Chains A and B, each alone.
Chain A
Amino acid sequence: MSSGRSEAPAPLDPALEASAEELYEDAPCGYLSTLPDGRIVKVNRTFLDWTGYAREELLGGRRLVDLLTAGGRIYHETHYAPLLALQGAANEIALELRRADGTRLPVLLTSLLKRDADRQPLLIRTTVFSAVDRRAYEHELLLARDRERDVAHVLQRSLLASEPLRDPRIRVGAHYRPAVDTLEVGGDWHDAFPAGEGRVGVVVGDVVGRGIEAASAMGQLRSATRALAGAGLGGPAQLLERLDRFAAGVPLALMATLAYAEIELDGGAVRYACAGHPPPLLLQSGAEPVVLWDGRSLPLGVDPEAGRPPDGRLTLASGGRLLLYTDGLVERHDEPLDRGLERLAAAVGALRSRDPQALVDELVETLPQDDTPHDDICALCAELRSGGAA
């Protein structure tokens, strides 16, 4: 604590910082003055020290662009110079200067345009700050971001890959399209697998969120679905109840949605259920597509104690198909879901002659409109080849 009486500051030495020239020459940043055509007309000592050029070398007609890297020159011409002309200033532009010895100095440039009485450009004044450490750190950040992106994509691809079904009684086609306006991975998935003797399970699901955590949650749910389907629980509703409990322990799996169906390969009996997911479509030969509204309930993990309603049931005739998909295929922000379903049914009807893979390929590539590029899209079509109901 002080004594309560502050001491008067010592009087300033009038000679301290009196030299404007020294203030300019030895400032803690580089100074450059250039003509509107870029030629350097004044430069301070700090800039010369940093770059290793002799003053007369720079004042003999060199332009600022001559000191930049080739990529930096393009950036200068396409951004820096236009900004100066348009707004009279350019702030915090990151570029690299080529030193006299050929090495590079990362810098941040800030420039002000000085105009004459007729508003014509007269001079450009630029401060140059060394950005070695900052640039190195930013580089690390960018690398880390790219690495995470790469890892996420590899992870997602490996999570979606699995041994295809090899049974002549069923044909499955699936298509996953990542969101087009982001490089982050999404949480949509599809899968088809044996679900007990003479039975096949097909699923399409959607985890909330994006990025590596969503991909990881997707992988866990996908594996859990496969494992539970093989455990002979009794049917889709029971599987969803077990998944509910599983999802409660996987943070990002909460609120995930899925459509799941089990198909008897002999006889074509189908049981299906939807947890907060758009309804599957049934395509029997010679009939209009039918939207399957049974077996519907909440997304995963919302109310694990509530139980699930009875499964939807139907019988696939030989050649009959089930189409499962994620909301990106039908949803548009400016219209109700019904309209999207009508559009889907019409598109599916028009493509009914295609095999399952070609059908989902075309649907995913052509049906979504350009105003829904923010979502990834997934679709799966399973066709019973023979042995179905006559």
Chain B
Amino acid sequence: MTRAAGSDSACVVRNNVTLAGVETGRPMLFAHGFGCDQSMWRLVAPAFAQTHRIVLFDHVGAGGSDRSAYDFERYGSLDAYAEDVLELCRALALEDVVLVGHSVSAMIGTLAVREEPDRFRALVMVSPSPRYVDDDGYVGGFSAADIDELLESLASNYLGWSSQLAPVIMGNPDRPELGDELTNSFCRTDPDIAQQFARVTFRSDTRAELADVRVPTLVLQCAQDAIAPRAVGEFVHRAVPGSSYALLDATGHCPNLSAPRETIAAIAAFLAGRG
């Protein structure tokens, strides 16, 4: 894979874009969820590199993105992340895009395709949840207190982050090997940013926007997912008009890592019109 350093667009550097695959192929844009970075796609994206143009990136605040671009006010809602996705598409002149979003990025994708439906060929939602907190008959799986507990977990887990290290890591975006020597580097984030991204993610409510998705959509649901249970995936499937639904025999919230073959097969079948 190549780093897209040749492009002079600020957002390409800001979002640490990695390009691979067939340059003339249909673009597949992979968006990682809350927690780690674009490495989440490392077992899935290569499978499409022979047929598609692969575009990977880190959300601002995550992975190798430019931390100084993280504005606490701007990134106070998912809309800013959706704007970033659209900005990347424009900067890289991506048309007819297959947008693959994991977890919260399935919702970021929802907001993006809603904004510019003509730019997208399809939306693949991996383990989506439009609302994590239970709400008046809706079962999201968590209570508000659970989310506070998560914020506490984040506060007591530094994952290789310290203010001494931050300048070294962040000041050398061209030397990722510096970061790789450090433990837990894939999920390293500034604790304040992690806290805010968690709040934005787990207190979001994107249920109403699902009905506006006008591009062919695949909902990928794991059989046992502690974060997005089956009822939630089925809700998303019902809410997105004409969507396809695939239930993966996988455990956990990250089938892109725990069941990459099934994940690839389901996406490939959907893209081939068999999903």
What is the bound-complex CA distance between A36 and B148, given in angstroms?
A: 28
- Binary per-residue interface labels of chain A (70-91) against chain B in the complex, 1 for a CB within 8 Å, 0 otherwise: 1111111111011101110111
Are B69 and A370 in contact, with the CB atoms below 8 A? yes
Are B153 and A94 in contact, with the CB atoms below 8 A? yes
Are B149 and A78 in contact, with the CB atoms below 8 A? no
* Chain B residue contacts of A371, Cβ below 8 A: 68
- Binary per-residue interface labels of chain A (81-120) against chain B in the complex, 1 for a CB within 8 Å, 0 otherwise: 1110111011101111000000000000000000000000
Chain A min CB distance to B254 (Å): 6
Residue B116 at the A interface, CB < 8 A? no
Residue A138 at the B interface, CB < 8 A? yes
What is the bound-complex CA distance between A89 and B184, given in angstroms?
A: 8
Chain B min CB distance to A359 (Å): 21
Contact partner, A180, options B71, B148, B227, Cβ 8 Å: B71
Are A72 and B186 in contact, with the CB atoms below 8 A? no
Are B252 and A75 in contact, with the CB atoms below 8 A? no
Residue B240 at the A interface, CB < 8 A? no
Chain B: which residue is nearest A91 at the CB level? Answer: B183
Residue B226 at the A interface, CB < 8 A? yes
Residue A211 at the B interface, CB < 8 A? no
Interface residue count for B (Cβ, 8 Å)?
47
What is the bound-complex CA distance between A69 and B192, given in angstroms?
A: 22
What is the bound-complex CA distance between A373 and B202, given in angstroms?
A: 26
What is the bound-complex CA distance between A75 and B201, given in angstroms?
A: 13
Contact partner, B184, options A77, A81, A91, A95, Cβ 8 Å: A91
Interface residue count for A (Cβ, 8 Å)?
40
* Chain B residue contacts of A135, Cβ below 8 A: 156
Chain A: which residue is nearest B250 at the CB level? Answer: A37
Are B186 and A181 in contact, with the CB atoms below 8 A? no
CB-CB under 8 A for A85 and B149, given A37-B252, A94-B157? no
Are B157 and A79 in contact, with the CB atoms below 8 A? yes
CB-CB under 8 A for A71 and B258, given A77-B226, A82-B187? no
Are A83 and B71 in contact, with the CB atoms below 8 A? no
Are B186 and A86 in contact, with the CB atoms below 8 A? yes
What is the bound-complex CA distance between A371 and B14, given in angstroms?
A: 12
Chain A: which residue is nearest B193 at the CB level? Answer: A181
Contact partner, B154, options A75, A85, A181, Cβ 8 Å: A75
Residue A65 at the B interface, CB < 8 A? yes
Are A94 and B227 in contact, with the CB atoms below 8 A? no
* Chain B residue contacts of A87, Cβ below 8 A: 183-186
Chain B min CB distance to A47 (Å): 20
Chain B CB within 10 A, most for which of A36, A63, A77, A96: A77
- Binary per-residue interface labels of chain A (35-63) against chain B in the complex, 1 for a CB within 8 Å, 0 otherwise: 01110000000000000000000000001
* Chain A residue contacts of B253, Cβ below 8 A: 77-78, 81
What is the bound-complex CA distance between A142 and B252, given in angstroms?
A: 31
* Chain A residue contacts of B192, Cβ below 8 A: 183
In addition to A79-B157, A86-B257, A181-B68, 7 A-B residue pairs with Cβ atoms within 8 Å of each other are A71-B150, A77-B225, A77-B253, A78-B103, A87-B184, A94-B156, A183-B192
**What are the 3 tightest A-B residue pairs by CB atom distance, in nearest-first order?**
A71-B149, A78-B35, A70-B146
Residues on B lying within 8 angstroms of A by beta carbon are: 33-36, 39-40, 42, 68-73, 103, 142-143, 145-157, 159, 183-187, 192, 202, 224-227, 251-254, 257-258
- 22 A-B pairs whose Cβ atoms sit less than 8 Å apart in the complex: A36-B258, A37-B252, A38-B251, A70-B149, A73-B227, A75-B153, A77-B253, A78-B34, A78-B103, A78-B227, A82-B36, A85-B258, A86-B39, A86-B40, A86-B42, A86-B257, A93-B157, A94-B156, A94-B157, A138-B156, A181-B68, A181-B72
